[in-house]
Amino acid sequence: MVRAGYWVAAAWLIASASAGMTAKPVPAQPKLVVAISIDQFSDELFQRYRSSFTGGLKRLGDGIAFTGYQSHAATETCPGHSTILTGRHPAATGIVANTWYDAKSGKNVYCVAVPGVADPDARGPQNLRVTTFGDWLKQAQPRARVVSISGKDRAAIMLGGHKADAVYWWKNGTGFTTSSYAGPATAGVTAPATAFNQALFARWRTTPPKLWPAQAPAACQALEQPHLFGKLAVSGKVPPDLSLTVENGDFVTRADFQDQLHVSPIFDPMTLDFVDRTIDRLKLGHGPATDLLAVSLSSTDYIGHRYGNGGAEMCVQMHALDQALGAFLAKLDRLRVPYVVALTADHGGIDAAERASEHGIAAHRIDPRAFVKALNAALQAQFGLHSAPIAGDDPQQLTITVGPDEALRRKVRDAAVAWLKQRPEVAAVFTADQVAAAAPPAGKSPDQLTVLERFHESYDKERSGDIQVELEEYASVGMPHSPGDNVAGHGSPWDYDRRVPILFWWPGIAPEPRTEPIETVDIAPTLAAIVHVPTPEVDGKCLTAVAGRCR
C-alpha cells in the first residue's frame, strides 16, 4: 500500500452527497454491455486525479464505485485481463504471466501465441483454459455480438474469449488487425480495419499528428521536474525529451514513430475512434440480443512504464483519457439504447523508484538479469554445473532446468531457496509445492489474502515456476540505462500492484461509493446476472449492490 502522504489523493464522494437520492435500477435487459479495462490504472492513480476529472472518468466514478483487487500475485497485463470477463483467477484461466517458460520445450511461451502454429502473427485464446462472459452470452443468446478492441493483442484476446465475432488490436506499421485464430478474419471483419488504417495513415501523412501537447496544462506543470532514473537522466518536460517532431513524408511506419505513438496521450483516443466506427458499422446495441463491447486502453501502461506515474507525462495522460472517455460515453448516449458500463484495470503500478523515494517510500531498484545471473553462478559453482540451472528473466518466477534427475532438481531447488532467502532484496521465497497447497479459505476478503495465497491464485502446475519469489515492497525490477528504457513497472504481489478501481455505471444511476473490497473476478458474474445469463463455475461472486438480484 502506498503510504499516506505520498500523494494527495482525491477525497471519496461523501455519503451525504447522495442522501435522499435513489439510483435508477440497472436496465431490466440492457441492449449493450460495455466492459472497459485501463491498463495499469491503479486505484491510487484514480484517487489521486479523481477530483480533477470532468469527463468520462468523472461520470463513471459517479456510479457504483468499489475499491477492487486483482487477487493474484502475477500482476501483469495478460493474467489481469484474463480475470475480468471470466470470473476466474489465473490459477484457473492458465494465464499465469505475459510469458512463461515451458520446461518441456525449453522455450518461452507468449500468452496469446497459438500452440503448434509457426506463424509469428498467429494470435488467439487457445491458452485460455476457461470461458468468458462473451461466451456465456452467446450460448444463452445466439444472436448476441461480441466485439473486443485494444491497443494490445493480449488484452483484446483475453477479453474477447473463445467465440468473439471480432477481435482487433494495434500492430505497428499495419494498424488495427486481427488473426483467424482469435476470431473470424473474413473480409467483413478485416476490410473495415484496413479502411480505417489507410484513412488514418493518409491523414497523418497530410497533417502529421502531435503526439503530445506543445506544453503541459497548467495543472501538470508543477510536476515537470528533472530526475535521474537508474542511469537515465530525464528533464521531465512535456513534450518528453524523446518525443518526435514528425514532418510530412512516410514516417508512419517508422519504428521510432510507432514506439512513441504507444507512449503518448493520442493512442487511446485513436483506439476509441476505431471503437466508435465499429459500433456504427455493426450497429451494436441495436440487434435482437444483448451485445458485448470490450475495450482495453493501453496508453496509461505504456506511459507508466516509460515515464513513471508521478510526473507531468501521466498528468497529461489522465486529462486526455478522461476527455476521450467522456466523448465515448456521449457516443453511447446517442445510440438511445439501454446500456451498462463496467470499468476496471488489469493491474496497478507504482512510480519510478527514485521519485517514489522523494515522497518517503523506501523504493529501490533491482537489476533482474544481474540478480538471476548471480543466482545461477552460485548454483553452478556449488554443484559443478556447466550450464545455468535456473531459467527466467523475472526474478519472481524461477524454473529449474537441470534435466530429469529429480534428486538433483531438489538439491538445486533447496540451494536456490537458501541463496534467495539470504538476499536483502527478497521478502519471502516459496516452492511450487508450498504455493499449490496454499488455497485461501472460501470467502476470504481479497484485502486479507496472505502473500502465499496471492501466489496460489496465479499458480498453474504446468506453467508456473518452480520457485516463487516475493521481492521487498517497493522494489522496482529494471535498471534504465538509455533513452526509451522503462523506468517503472508492476508485477508484484503487493497491494499497489493489485488494487484497482471497479466502477459500474448506467444512465440515471446515482453516486454510490462502496467501502467493501471486491475482486475483478466479481465483474463477470455480476454482468451475467444483469443480462440474465447463466454463470458457470467461477471464483467471483455476483454483486447484489449492482445487479440487484443474483441467481
Global confidence as pTM = 0.94
Q: State whether the Cα torsion 312-317-322-327 is positive or negative.
A: positive
DSSP 360-390: T---EEE-HHHHHHHHHHHHHHHHT-SS-SE
Residues forming the active site? 77
3-state secondary structure of 470: strand
Domains and CATH numbers, the chain: 15-207+251-359+493-547 (3.40.720.10), 364-473 (3.30.1360.150)
Residue 113 is given by DSSP the state B
Q: Which three cell numbers mark 318?
A: 489522465
Length of the chain: 551
Fill in the amino acid letter for 183. Answer: G
Question: pLDDT by residue for the chain (551 residues), tens digit each?
Answer: 333 333 333 333 333 333 334 557 887 889 999 999 999 999 999 999 999 999 999 999 999 999 999 999 999 999 999 999 999 999 999 999 999 999 888 899 999 999 999 999 999 999 999 999 999 999 999 999 999 999 999 999 999 999 999 999 999 999 999 999 999 999 999 999 999 999 999 999 998 899 999 999 999 999 999 999 999 999 999 999 876 666 656 788 888 899 999 999 999 999 999 999 999 999 999 999 999 999 999 999 999 999 999 999 999 999 999 999 999 999 999 999 999 999 999 999 999 999 999 999 999 999 999 999 999 999 999 999 999 999 977 899 999 999 889 999 999 999 999 999 999 999 999 999 999 999 999 999 999 999 999 999 999 999 999 999 999 999 999 889 988 899 999 999 999 999 999 999 999 999 999 999 999 999 999 999 999 999 999 999 999 999 998 97
Nearest to 147 by CA among 157, 139, 190: 157
- Position 250 scores a pLDDT of 75
CA distance 476 to 480: 11
228 backbone dihedrals φ, ψ, rounded to 5°: -110, 105
- Pick the closest to residue 72 from 406, 392, 347 (CA basis): 347
Sequence-distant (≥ 6) Cβ neighbours of residue 206 within 8 angstroms:
248
Instruction: Say which DSSP state 447 is in.
Output: G
Antiparallel, parallel or unpaired: β 64-69 and 512-513 = parallel
| Measured distance CA(114)–CA(122) in Å, rounded | 6
The CA distance from 34 to 449, in Å, is: 30
Characterize the bridge pairing of strands 397-400 and 390-391. Answer: antiparallel
Q: What is the pLDDT of residue 444?
A: 97
β-pairing, 467-471 vs 426-431, is antiparallel
